[in-house]
Structure 1
Amino acid sequence: MDQAPKEMFVGVINPYALTEAITGRKFDWTDAKSYQILEQTLEKSYSELFDIKFNSPLYAGLQLERDNTVKTMRAEDVKVRSSDKLETINFSTIKNLKDLSKAGITDLDSVEIKNARLDKGDVKVVLNVPKLNNTITNTMVSPVIKDIVFGSPNINLGWTPANCLWSDRGNFFNDVTEFNDPIQGAVGNCYFISAIAALAWATPYAIEHKVRATGTGETQRVNAIQFYTKGGGKDAPSKLIEVTDSTIITTSNNPVYCRSNDAGEIWPAVYEKAFAKWINQTGDDKPDITKTAYGDPVKAIAQLNNKTPLYYYTNTRTADQLYGIVRENSMSMKTINPMVAWTYGSGNYSGSNIVANHAYTILGWAFVNNKSYIILRNPWGVTEPNGLNSYQGLISFFDNSFWRPINMIGNDGVFALEINAFKYYFAGMGVAK
């Protein structure tokens, strides 16, 4: 194992949850053309959404460092544009290069060409003109994104984002605790969501529902969740945190932050709310969820199971050694100790469907057709890697007294990545045991 990092800022916003929160609508993200909705709403090409080096708004409030890690920005350095709609210039009136002056481009010699290509006899050129750029990025957001991602509390309602309310949406559990229940919302806390999914998969008994009744007359149910201090950021003294069933939804009754894959189930959202209350060290039942953004996925597991966080970096190990670490923490191919992995701050992720500065849950390992794979889950519940390095098929895990099949074909965020590809794309992995 390696030395624990001094501080980690792993995190990226779930674009699907953010798009639904911005538009106030739900979409079928399994539709092959749904990426167009993301592009239009987030004003960024799909191929550039998943890496901060393209100034993607999914990394709002983060900046890339020289060592390929990310750090949080000062709040005052994140600009907010004047409206939620992009103000555009009517380029249909431009007939020649001189007419570009109508758009404020007066010195063509100094304008950088982003890319150029020959298309059926036409030269199509994309110019990079920063002073005309008013699209949302990691350093410039729209007013609605500011409210969702950074919080804009209504002083009359406690911490409540604009056009949202706190509401009891269902049962803590619908059935048994499942690894695919937690779905990340519109805040960059994938490190925490991947951690609770890891617990739900490897040690489901660790996800407890402790309840006590309060008040007089009509009884109000309060959930009690224990957190353990492990030091550093996103931490607080060990404490049993009590929260009600109320979680944030939009006025159109859609969740904004963490939600369950099972409709009418709320345990993942309650865990997120309790974590926010704990790290904010507040007694308020309406804690600021946005303060959970960016953190350490390995420590997040330890804060819940009170075990020792162990870190393993990929750059100092062979692919076989990384594969061996997963096997050491598994039985019958599935992890029996909760494990997570995280990607680099930036890299060659374009076109891979693997997300930079993102935390994933490790579910186990597989050996198929003489190839070794590590099984992972994206806490977004969708978005899996493309290409020859992922296995497309059915893999089953023996869990206590029953088999759990995982379909690698369905777009549910679960995938099997060949170990050399895992070493290439991922910065590290960890376990709390």
Structure 2
Amino acid sequence: MVTSGSSSESPRGAPSNIDAYALFEALTGHKIDRRYIPSRTMSEDYEVLGDDRDDRPLLGQEPSPDEPPKDVFIGAVNPYALVEAMIGHRLDRRSLSTARIIADVLQTDYEELFDLKHNSVLFAGLKLNEENREAEELNEKDIQILEERDLVTPDLSRVKKIDDLEKIGLKGVGDIRVKMARMQNGKLRLVLDGKSLGKTVGNHDVTQTINELVLPFRHGEEGGHWSPPNSSWRDMSEVIFRAFPRRSLMDGVPPFAVHGGGILSRHQLCEQYQHRFDDPTQGASSDSWLIAAIFSVFWANPAMINRSTRMISGPMDRGNNNGDDDDNNGGNDRRPTLSVRFHDKGGRNNADTDTVEVDYQVPVNNTTDMPIYARSSDGYETWPALYEKAFVKWMTRSEDKGRVDLTQAHSGDPIKAMAQINGREPRYYFTDRHSGAELVGLVRSCSVNKRTISPMAAWTHATGDMFRGSNLVANHAYSVLGWVSEGQEENQYIIIRNPWGVTEPRGLTSYPGLLDRVEPEFWPPAALLDRDGVFSVEVQAFKKYFACIGVAK
């Protein structure tokens, strides 16, 4: 008989006690601070059970999945990464002034960026089907490349009367839409729609720079290698670990390293690095559907994701190295690659089940030294960028292990993508066909300790008045991470993550039903996350914002 506190023995006499810390690290791939003592006891996590008067499925049953959609065109460009790539400067994503910078660079009022009905450039290559509140794909012939002369506006300094607006080209002033009207000190201040006076970038009209960064159209260009503007194809290990001597990567952490403008000791660097996160974050592209899917699989089962590399022996073909430097390995002929297996699930953005291999070359901005597309939230891990590259190589059937045109993942289906990654089957649940209780019940049935153990994702409607000032984006994919209850059956929340990895500063957003800061005290699994971009949506608000939620299991 084994008593409390005694060590049990296996039949062969070996101790059967398991190191819980080591098991956690093996399952999640994250280091854990063994000095940490939880601030909550297990008893504090018990929830108050509701009564029998609800519309949930019968006990033990999940809601029946809906018929899979035929074509899904989900995708919104990450404006923060896009603007950083365009101007060559990093943005302070927690600053209110950043919203003004984004609006100026993208030539769109900030509050109109996140809804497809405003023809925002974040949805370049897509158009709105107003009847179904869904996005549809534009053809290459529908896209106009703007030149400098297209963006020039008339001289307004001589406008003295309303009639003068007609003279400079604003025809039909009496019928122009008034965006804002305000009285101040006896003066009427109007903001009018003046797009007829000068073009701005949008979903149909883009500059050459935006086209090369975001859209899959090369406009008749044949042959050659695709490269985004102001970028070079560089080895991720050289870019990310620039401050770390290559030899010391095998030994752990160097005795001293330059970091953030100062010198950190080995102890300080270890202490800082072990608390960082490698959550995949979307870059200057519209593949939110893919990044959300990758994160969802990673979150539900980190062991499903290959975050390792293996070395390929053989001579470096310097003549075919696209003119870039090698990885400065001192003549070593071994170079790292990542192998990933993806699964055939039919439809677009798909290929036969196969294992693909990619090298570490990714587009890096020449000014900021940051990857232009997918990266980890802490900036210290390579696998998110390589997974994005591997998936695009697989779905486009590219033979190139190096330069892959990442804009080809322009829009897609996040729920199917999860199944393409983990090999399971995608199940769809459209929110207008299920009650709020069914939706949160679905999340709960896929969760343990309020955290999903089967990957889940959801996407929003393509338009709606609620997207203004809500910290949510239309036609955008989100990872579903779990659920939480405040102890009352009617106050249940679904935890989601924006693949942009950004939570907008307070003062820009406010909407009922959303909690934009998810802390471990509210939802314990948040301790495993870089919490930027993670927030909770009350289940009835979730039904209003989101068109579909799904699982790959």
Relative to the length of structure 2, the TM-score reads 0.72
- Aligned residues with identical type, % of pairs: 37
| Cα deviation digits, residues 193-220 of structure 1 (max 9, x gap) | 0011111111000111352413236112
Q: Which amino acid aligns with 1:365?
A: W
Larger radius of gyration: 2
Residue in structure 2 matched with residue 158 of structure 1 by the alignment: 225
Instruction: Pick one of 157, 182, 185 that aligns with 1:117.
Output: 182
Q: Which amino acid aligns with 1:394?
A: E
The answer on whether the counterparts of 2:216 and 2:410 sit within 8 Å (CA) in structure 1 is no
Residue in structure 2 matched with residue 345 of structure 1 by the alignment: 462
Instruction: Pick one of 116, 119, 122 that aligns with 1:52.
Output: 116
The answer on whether the counterparts of 2:276 and 2:378 sit within 8 Å (CA) in structure 1 is no
Report the secondary structure of 1:92's partner residue.
coil
1:169 aligns with 2:293: no
| Cα deviation digits, residues 213-251 of structure 1 (max 9, x gap) | 132361122211101110000001111101001111121
Q: Larger % of strand: which?
A: 1
Instruction: Pick one of 441, 446, 449 that aligns with 1:332.
Output: 449
The answer on whether the counterparts of 1:47 and 1:350 sit within 8 Å (CA) in structure 2 is yes
Matches within 5 A, 1:71-150: 71-83=136-148, 86-150=151-215
| Cα deviation digits, residues 101-146 of structure 1 (max 9, x gap) | 4421354345444443333322222333443231111111122111
The answer on whether the counterparts of 2:457 and 2:549 sit within 8 Å (CA) in structure 1 is yes
Using the TM superposition, give the Cα deviation of residue 34 of structure 1 relative to its aligned residue in structure 2, in angstroms.
1.3
Residue in structure 2 matched with residue 360 of structure 1 by the alignment: 478
| Cα deviation digits, residues 311-356 of structure 1 (max 9, x gap) | 1111011111111000000001000101101100111211112100
Instruction: Pick one of 70, 74, 84 that aligns with 1:6.
Output: 70
1:277 aligns with 2:393: yes
Matches within 5 A, 1:252-331: 252=367, 253-284=369-400, 285-331=402-448
1:229 aligns with 2:328: no
The answer on whether the counterparts of 1:179 and 1:200 sit within 8 Å (CA) in structure 2 is no
Instruction: Pick one of 528, 538, 541 that aligns with 1:418.
Output: 538
Residue in structure 1 matched with residue 365 of structure 2 by the alignment: 250
Using the TM superposition, give the Cα deviation of residue 97 of structure 1 relative to its aligned residue in structure 2, in angstroms.
1.7
The answer on whether the counterparts of 1:192 and 1:300 sit within 8 Å (CA) in structure 2 is yes
Using the TM superposition, give the Cα deviation of residue 98 of structure 1 relative to its aligned residue in structure 2, in angstroms.
2.4
Report the secondary structure of 2:481's partner residue.
strand
Residue in structure 1 matched with residue 262 of structure 2 by the alignment: none
> CA distance change for structure 1 residues 393 and 114 in 2, over 3 Å: closer, same or farther?
closer
How far apart, CA to CA, are the structure 1 residues paired with 2:305 and 2:285?
22
Using the TM superposition, give the Cα deviation of residue 151 of structure 1 relative to its aligned residue in structure 2, in angstroms.
5.4
> CA distance change for structure 1 residues 287 and 117 in 2, over 3 Å: closer, same or farther?
same
Aligned residues: 428
Q: Which amino acid aligns with 2:550?
A: G
Residue in structure 1 matched with residue 49 of structure 2 by the alignment: none
The answer on whether the counterparts of 1:81 and 1:141 sit within 8 Å (CA) in structure 2 is yes
How far apart, CA to CA, are the structure 2 residues paired with 1:84 and 1:16?
26
Q: Which amino acid aligns with 1:223?
A: L
How far apart, CA to CA, are the structure 2 residues paired with 1:353 and 1:113?
25
Report the secondary structure of 2:356's partner residue.
strand
| Cα deviation digits, residues 283-314 of structure 1 (max 9, x gap) | 01211100001100000000011001011111
| Cα deviation digits, residues 349-385 of structure 1 (max 9, x gap) | 1111210000001110001253211111000000356
Query: Runs of 5+ in structure 1 lacking a partner?
Result: none
The answer on whether the counterparts of 1:333 and 1:365 sit within 8 Å (CA) in structure 2 is yes
Q: Which amino acid aligns with 2:133?
A: N
The answer on whether the counterparts of 1:210 and 1:225 sit within 8 Å (CA) in structure 2 is no
How far apart, CA to CA, are the structure 2 residues paired with 1:189 and 1:333?
27
C-alpha RMSD of matched pairs (Å): 2.7
Report the secondary structure of 2:227's partner residue.
coil
Using the TM superposition, give the Cα deviation of residue 93 of structure 1 relative to its aligned residue in structure 2, in angstroms.
1.8
Relative to the length of structure 1, the TM-score reads 0.92
Deviates more, 1:5-14 or 1:258-267: 258-267
Q: Which amino acid aligns with 1:195?
A: A
Q: Which amino acid aligns with 2:478?
A: Y
Using the TM superposition, give the Cα deviation of residue 393 of structure 1 relative to its aligned residue in structure 2, in angstroms.
5.4
Moved over 4 A (4+): 151-157, 171-180
Residue in structure 2 matched with residue 184 of structure 1 by the alignment: 282
Query: Runs of 5+ in structure 2 lacking a partner?
Result: 1-64, 242-248, 253-272, 316-331
Report the secondary structure of 1:336's partner residue.
strand
The answer on whether the counterparts of 2:278 and 2:380 sit within 8 Å (CA) in structure 1 is no
Using the TM superposition, give the Cα deviation of residue 407 of structure 1 relative to its aligned residue in structure 2, in angstroms.
9.8
The answer on whether the counterparts of 1:257 and 1:269 sit within 8 Å (CA) in structure 2 is yes
Using the TM superposition, give the Cα deviation of residue 100 of structure 1 relative to its aligned residue in structure 2, in angstroms.
1.7
The answer on whether the counterparts of 1:390 and 1:417 sit within 8 Å (CA) in structure 2 is yes
| Cα deviation digits, residues 25-61 of structure 1 (max 9, x gap) | 1111111221111111111111111001011100001
How far apart, CA to CA, are the structure 2 residues paired with 1:397 and 1:106?
55
How far apart, CA to CA, are the structure 1 residues paired with 2:383 and 2:373?
13
